Structure 1
Amino acid sequence: MDYPDYPTYPTDQAPGAPVRHGIPEHGRIPKYYAVKARLDQLIGALGEGDPLPTERDLSEEYEVARETVRQAIRELVLEGKLRRRGRGTVVAGPKLEQPLSLASYTEGVRRQGRTPGRTLVTLDRFPCPAALAAETGLERGAPVWHLERVLLADDERVGLESTYVAVARVPRLDVDFDPDSSFYAFLHRQGIGFGDADERIETVLATPREALLIGTPPALPMLLIHRVSRDTEGEPLERVRTLYRGDRFSFSAHLDG
């Protein structure tokens, strides 16, 4: 079979990259974007943690204003390809890929050769409010635990997780649970299995408190996942709100037809 020739399509176009490298058909692109494309190539030739040349050196090499270089670098930082270190900028490592499944955060991070961890922010209990009861099916007024932890990967703060679970399901959570460990593994040891869950993902900006806990600028986009899960009997189990750094995470799912 003969196929038509498409001479204008870039033959080095990666399937996951912006179509035609993001260049409009009229061919006119902002100066910062041209610098960003060149920096992207430079990043590919460097290794994780390698420093980027200074803004002054880059502006002289590319013959553009320093603000043009600065804008290109800002976008690459937001995309997670670069990160700030002190007064300089270095190449960031690959993003952590989390599967959209009932697997735990611990499993997802370990699969990529990283060391998961968590830092406890708060563990308290209070009567289940009406909104939480309506969303999860938990009994209104019944005591619930709220477990809030900062998520770590190789000691780097990458997210913030809030979990709500009925005290009746895990009455000794404050005594028997290690906050640095997997909550799902803890539930499994209690004989509680996960059946199914509803999940919703959106893009948000962190609140000032969240940004402080995660250690990011408030303007950094975050991926927010809401999860309501049930056990194998269909009974309500947990409600989770997890913020992931948009520059450090991507998500994947396998879809069956």
Structure 2
Amino acid sequence: MNTPHAPHTPPAQHPGAPVRSGIPEHGRIPKYYAAKVDIAALLDTLGEGQPLPAERDLAQRFEVSRETLRQALRELILEGRLRRLGRGTVVAGPKLAQPLSLASYTEGVRDQGRRPGRQLIGLDRFPCPPVLAVDLGLSAGDPVWHMERVLLADDERVGLESTYVAVERVPDLDTAFAPDSSFYAYLHEELGIGFGDADERLETVLATPREALLIGTPGALPMLLIHRFSRDTTGRPLERVRSLYRGDRFSFTTHLGPRAGG
């Protein structure tokens, strides 16, 4: 019987690693976790996009069963260290660090040297329901747009965005706006609408079967969901946005300052 070995403590240059590499104080760790840490160390020696050795070879190398190895690989995929490519598994690149700010998705991705893009799923116009009317400062029944787009980074599908905005604010959205471009840039440059402030709520969810199909991910993959309510520079409600991001490809950053009176 194989005896699980304690993984090495991550070096100091990995400040985001778990304390003591996730080993509990009693020192007993599951075999899959020991294999996971060993594979993670192997990934550090490989470059982005490099294929992982075959499961059989890895199982022999780390002295674990194929099923134990697969559990370790599943966790590394969920964490974004690995990704499936065809019938194989390759080393994933670093996560996209999207700022929690009024900057657009396009700006955030471009700032990291990636090529942003969007693929239109649907653009519909319908009478605004009462709940949405409150958010957008409208009367129930006023016309509203719903625009749904897949988010891309270097042609990789990484999220899904749903935008609700009053037709009176952007009457020509269906004819004058290029759906693969930045909506914020269109509002500012073409319509002279500036963003003043916004409220956001961030939570973790699982994608619905439809969302997983559109984004191209397994249904069990954790997703990061952001609800945003934006206002223009006059304080008037502007948009409601629901953005779903792949948990294995995104992290979010923000700057914190001292609280007034604290």
**What is the TM-score when the length of structure 1 is the normalising length?**
0.94
Q: Give the whole-Å Cα distance in 2 for the aligned partners of 1:17 and 1:110.
A: 27
Partner of 1:166: 166
Matched to 2:83, the amino acid is R
The aligned residue for residue 243 of structure 2 is: 242
1:3 corresponds in structure 2 to none
CA distance 1:10–1:247, shift in 2 (3 Å): closer
Letter in 2 for 1:38: D
Q: Which consecutive unaligned segments of at least 5 residues does structure 2 have?
A: 1-8
Cα distance change on mapping 1:243 and 1:11 into 2, 3 Å: closer
Q: Residue 238 of structure 1 aligns to which amino acid in structure 2?
A: E
Q: Equivalents in 2 of 1:48, 1:19: separation in Å?
A: 25
> How far apart are residue 137 of structure 1 and its match?
2.8
Deviation at 1:11, TM superposition (A): 6.7
The code of the aligned residue for 2:133 comes to A
Q: Distance in 2 between matches of 1:86 and 1:11?
A: 33
Which residue does 2:137 correspond to in 1? Answer: 137
Q: Which amino acid aligns with 1:64?
A: V
Letter in 1 for 2:141: G
- What's the counterpart of residue 176 of structure 1? 176
| 1:227 aligned partner | 228
Cα 1:187–1:30 shift into 2, 3 Å: same
Match of 2:16 in 1: 16
Structure 1 equivalent of residue 5 of structure 2: none
Partner-residue secondary structure (3-state), 2:212:
helix
Counterpart residue type for residue 239 of structure 1? R
| Residue 66, structure 1, aligned to residue 50, structure 2 | no
Q: Return the offset for 1:62.
A: 1.0
Pairs aligned (count): 249
| Preserved contact between residue 13 and residue 21 of structure 1 (Cα < 8 Å) | no
User: How far has the Cα of 1:10 moved from its partner?
Assistant: 7.5
Q: What SS class does the counterpart of residue 45 from structure 1 fall into?
A: coil
Q: Which residue of 2 aligns with 1:214?
A: 215
Give the match's secondary structure for 2:44: helix
The 1:115–1:54 alpha-carbon spacing in structure 2 relative to 1, beyond 3 Å, is same
Fraction of identical pairs, as percent:
76
State the distance in 1 between where 2:45 and 2:138 align.
53
Runs of 4+ in 1 over 6 A off after TM superposition: none
Indicate if the aligned counterparts of 1:13 and 1:20 stay in contact, CA closer than 8 A.
Answer: no
Structure 2 Cα separation of the partners of residues 47 and 138 of structure 1: 52
* Two-structure CA RMSD over aligned residues (Å): 1.3
Provide the rounded CA distance (Å) in 2 between the counterparts of 1:10 and 1:187.
47
Tell me the TM-score normalized by structure 2: 0.92
Contact 1:118 1:151 in 2 (8 A): yes
What is the CA-CA distance between 1:17 and the residue it aligns to? 1.5
Name 1:88's counterpart in structure 2. 88
Give the Cα–Cα distance (whole angstroms) in 2 for the partners of residues 35 and 94 of structure 1: 21
Paired with 1:32 and 1:175, the residues of 2 have a C-alpha distance of 54
- Aligned to 2:141, the other structure's residue is in SS state coil
Residues in 2 aligned to 1:63 and 1:211: alpha-carbon distance in whole angstroms: 34
Report the counterpart of residue 108 of structure 1 in structure 2. 108
One-letter code of the match for 2:23? I
CA distance, structure 2, for counterparts of residue 10 and residue 79 of structure 1:
17
Q: Tell me the residue number matched to 1:205.
A: 206
